[in-house]
Amino acid sequence: MKETLSLGRIAGIRVGLHWSVLVIVVLVTFTLADGRFPAAYPGHAAWAYWALALLTAVVFLASLLVHELAHAVVARRNGVQVDGITLWMLGGAARLHSETPTPAAELRIAGVGPLTSLLAGGLFTGLAVWLDALRVSGLVVEAIAWLAAINIVLAVFNALPAAPLDGGRLLRAYLWHRSGDRLRATRGASAAGRALGWLMVLAGFAAVLFAGNLSGMWFALIGWFLITAATAEARQAELSGVLHGIPVRRVMTPDPVTVPATMTLERFLSEAPFDRYRHSAFPVLAADGDMTDVIGLVTAGHIARVPPEARATTAIGDVMHPLSEIETVAPDDTVVDLLPRLEAGKERRALVLDDGRLVGIVTLTDIGRAVTWLTGAKRPRS
């Protein structure tokens, strides 16, 4: 899930929002302002309902962020690097740099999420009771009570033993501990996730068809998300099994064609050796530099955004992505650890550096080609 808007870093962890987060903000705001708040405490001005509802939706998003931050912090304490957190329509996702090393680490990382939401629910409950005792506006107490309830519901739902929920991670940790096989454990948790998803889809459509409850569509949507996410997780596990132990140097394109940062786009288009280069991206070197002076990456998309009449005066360095924004990897790093970073990255490719020297470039296409070869070579002949 790619972020649309970056919120910066919290505790050193990159945090962003996906555009679909607007859906949950609008849904929560509308539900509270047009339904729950006026029904519970009529007589207030319309602007008061809408303002409080919007503030409640924002606090709810903050509680989702705290849930994901808890995962990220515990992951780092267990030796798993965290690439970032993205909030989106159905919650949030912490992007881990690599797989968890042991079932115990998986248990700790997964378990802290529901516990954090449960703790938040308890704190909001206590706050609502305290404010009610102080005779604070019932409308404010109602908003805090809703936050308490939704966080407890979030904790319970996430604890269900089905991937990709936190409970699915807990189930995978248990199965992994019992069998010693990470792949088999992932298959089991994913199967449970698909089963729960189909149950929610059927229940949601039944609520719409037989009870006329349109909120069942939202229930069905969450179920469909579980099905697709669990299926993708199982596929990712199978892919990891195929690529297990394979270093990046075996799938990369070695000795990539480079371009100096000072070259103009017009000259680049007229001289670039497209006939012998299968990638649409070129590593950029500092002026008159060698392979240790790589400073960025330029793609066909960067060049296409420059008007033709400006290409004679625009240098490669003016349009490239700087090295700080590009994924880099060592040749002996494993493809399994690199794959999730490529899938979440902007350019879907990484530069391969050996002690700072550029030795290759690797893309999802390169990895896909290797997977096709490996699965074909391992498939028995009929």
- Which residues are annotated as catalytic? 68
Instruction: Please say whether the beta carbons of 109 and 71 come within 8 A.
Output: yes
Among 168, 172, 169, CA closest to 182: 172
Cα separations in angstroms, 279 against 28, 154, 336: 45, 44, 21
Distance separating alpha carbons of residues 190 and 172, to the nearest angstrom: 9
Q: Which two tokens stand for residue 54?
A: 């919007």
HSE-up (13 A, CA, CB side) for residue 11? 16
CB atoms within 10 A of CB 295: 18
Distance separating alpha carbons of residues 120 and 335, to the nearest angstrom: 38
Instruction: Please say whether the beta carbons of 284 and 294 come within 8 A.
Output: yes
Distance separating alpha carbons of residues 284 and 295, to the nearest angstrom: 6
What is the residue type of 174? Y
